[in-house]
């Protein structure tokens, strides 16, 4: 589009975001809370739609995010009410993060997992068909959407979708729905829509169950032994600010060039993946205390053992790159938890991490 300058730095442009009407679904969750804080810093006008936070403590309440966005609590499975809230928000840009985000929870309640992750996404996509000003949409799925062959090659955006467990399968199914709505409806309405597939995310403020660093912090702060089910599982670990930076860059790019719609992987370089054992070793060194017991890898239901992402597309199209190494990511993460546990303000800690990250070249 004439007059627009493409931002190829991979970092969000405050001039772009200032005054934009942005809808964030799942704004009360871990990633959604960090994204809301960042968008507010950038000058966006944020509306959030999600469930009430389901953990105590939680970052949404600790950072007092209700003061920096128009916060609305609604179940995305309620199609009519959700559509009404989307219409009322009248967004120009949408980030869809609302989901049932846990593998083991998917085994416990597969029906709710599919209802939330597939039909919840469909409810948003259908509501967007009736929005007059929406132009850029980032649908966040997961790195687990690929049919996992347990091979050492990183998965590319055009590799086969799949999913052994209900969570992974539901996210893969949502990818198909996203592609369908893009092709059948939204592209004709000049709405550019992309799916974002991010690797395992760490960072201060996550107290969800069955998350590695969250479990470590809860165990070590209470003097309990951290139990690790699958110490040799390999994942693409990254600090939460890395994929969020990518989502913001992607939304900007979609606004400027609708031909960039499609799927994008976000994660560290494929050579920088690490085992759970390695991550816990670095986390323990950064935290400074705590005991850990490593299992034999056979506990619990099936989970992928090896997962690596190819991120060339996001680097080339968006200019994104990892700014913090795994060791740095864990140092910032464990430092956040340690300081917060000692009484530091959660919002101040988030702003401090963002100051450091934004200052990186």
pLDDT in tens, 74-83: 999 999 999 9
What's 21's domain CATH number? 3.40.50.720
- What is the mean pLDDT of the segment spanning 7-29? 91
| Residue pLDDT, tens place only, 310-347 | 999 999 999 999 999 999 999 999 999 999 999 999 99
Cβ-proximal residues to 67 (8 Å cutoff; 6+ apart), any chain? none
Domain count, the chain: 1
Place of tokens 């600010």: 241
How many angstroms separate the CA atoms of 217 and 223, rounded? 10
Domain that holds residue 79: 17-359
At 79 the pLDDT is 98
| Residue pLDDT, tens place only, 141-179 | 999 999 998 888 999 999 999 999 999 999 999 999 999
At 270 the pLDDT is 78
pLDDT at 309 over 50: yes
- pTM for the model stands at 0.95
Residue 329, in any domain of the structure: yes
Number of Cα atoms under 13 Å in the Cβ half of residue 338:
14
Residue 10, in any domain of the structure: no
Whether omega before 57 lies within 30 degrees of 0, making that bond cis, reads yes
- Rounded mean pLDDT of the chain? 94
Task: Count CB atoms within 10 A of the CB of residue 40.
Answer: 17
How large is the greatest C-alpha to C-alpha distance in the chain, in angstroms?
60
pLDDT at 1 over 70: no
Residue 353, in any domain of the structure: yes
- What is the mean pLDDT of the segment spanning 85-100? 98
Residue 8, in any domain of the structure: no
pLDDT at 304 over 80: no
* Residue 8 binned pLDDT confidence (cut-offs 50, 70, 90): low
Locate the DSSP E strands across the chain. 21-25, 45-50, 70-73, 93-96, 136-140, 192-198, 201-202, 225-228, 234-235, 238-239, 262-266, 274-275, 291-294
Cβ-proximal residues to 245 (8 Å cutoff; 6+ apart), any chain? 10, 11, 12, 320, 323, 357
Cβ-proximal residues to 286 (8 Å cutoff; 6+ apart), any chain? 327, 330, 331, 333, 334, 335
Cβ-proximal residues to 188 (8 Å cutoff; 6+ apart), any chain? none
How many angstroms separate the CA atoms of 147 and 95, rounded? 25
Residue 133, in any domain of the structure: yes
Please give the span between the terminal C-alpha atoms of the chain, in angstroms, as a whole number: 27
* Residue 9 binned pLDDT confidence (cut-offs 50, 70, 90): low
| Residue pLDDT, tens place only, 280-300 | 999 999 999 999 999 986 666
> Rg of the Cα trace of the chain?
19
| DSSP helix/strand/coil, 79 | helix
Q: What percent of the chain is modeled with pLDDT above 70?
A: 96
Residue 12, in any domain of the structure: no
| Residue pLDDT, tens place only, 243-260 | 999 999 999 999 999 999
At 272 the pLDDT is 85
pLDDT at 28 over 50: yes
Kindly write down the DSSP assignment for every residue of 25-46, as one continuous string.
ETTTSHHHHHHHHHHHHHT-EE
Residue 5, in any domain of the structure: no
At 336 the pLDDT is 98
Residue 3, in any domain of the structure: no
């Amino acid at each position: 589009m004439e007059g627009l300058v493409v931002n190829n730095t991979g970092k969000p442009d405050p001039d772009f975001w200032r005054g934009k009407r942005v809808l964030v679904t799942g704004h009360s969750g871990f990633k959604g809370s960090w994204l809301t804080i960042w968008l507010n810093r950038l000058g966006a006008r944020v509306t959030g739609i999600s469930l009430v936070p389901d953990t105590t403590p939680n970052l949404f309440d600790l950072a007092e995010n209700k003061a920096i966005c128009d916060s609305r609590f609604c179940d995305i499975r309620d199609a009519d009410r959700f559509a009404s809230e989307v219409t009322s928000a009248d967004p120009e840009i949408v980030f869809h993060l609302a989901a049932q985000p846990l593998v083991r929870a998917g085994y416990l309640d597969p029906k709710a997992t599919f209802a939330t992750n597939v039909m919840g996404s469909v409810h948003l996509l259908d509501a967007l068909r009736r929005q007059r000003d929406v132009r850029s949409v980032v649908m966040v799925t997961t790195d687990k959407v690929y049919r996992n062959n347990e091979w050492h090659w990183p998965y590319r955006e055009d590799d086969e979708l799949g999913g052994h467990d209900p969570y992974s399968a539901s996210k893969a199914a949502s990818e198909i729905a996203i592609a369908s709505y893009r092709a059948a409806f939204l592209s004709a309405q000049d709405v550019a829509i992309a799916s974002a597939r991010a690797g395992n995310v760490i960072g201060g403020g996550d107290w969800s169950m069955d998350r590695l660093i969250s479990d470590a912090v809860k165990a070590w702060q209470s003097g309990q032994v951290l139990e690790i089910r699958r110490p040799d599982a390999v994942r693409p670990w990254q600090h939460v600010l890395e994929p969020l930076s990518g989502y913001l860059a992607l939304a900007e790019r979609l606004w400027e060039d609708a031909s960039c719609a499609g799927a994008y992987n976000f994660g560290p370089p494929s050579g920088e993946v690490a085992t759970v054992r390695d991550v816990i070793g670095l986390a323990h060194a950064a935290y400074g205390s705590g005991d850990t017991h490593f299992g034999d890898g056979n506990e619990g239901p099936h989970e992928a053992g090896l997962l690596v992402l190819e991120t060339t597309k996001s680097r080339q199209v968006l200019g994104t790159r990892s700014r913090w190494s795994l060791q740095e990511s864990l140092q910032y993460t464990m430092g956040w938890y340690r300081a917060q546990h000692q009484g530091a303000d959660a919002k101040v800690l988030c702003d401090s991490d963002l100051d450091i990250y934004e200052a990186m070249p």
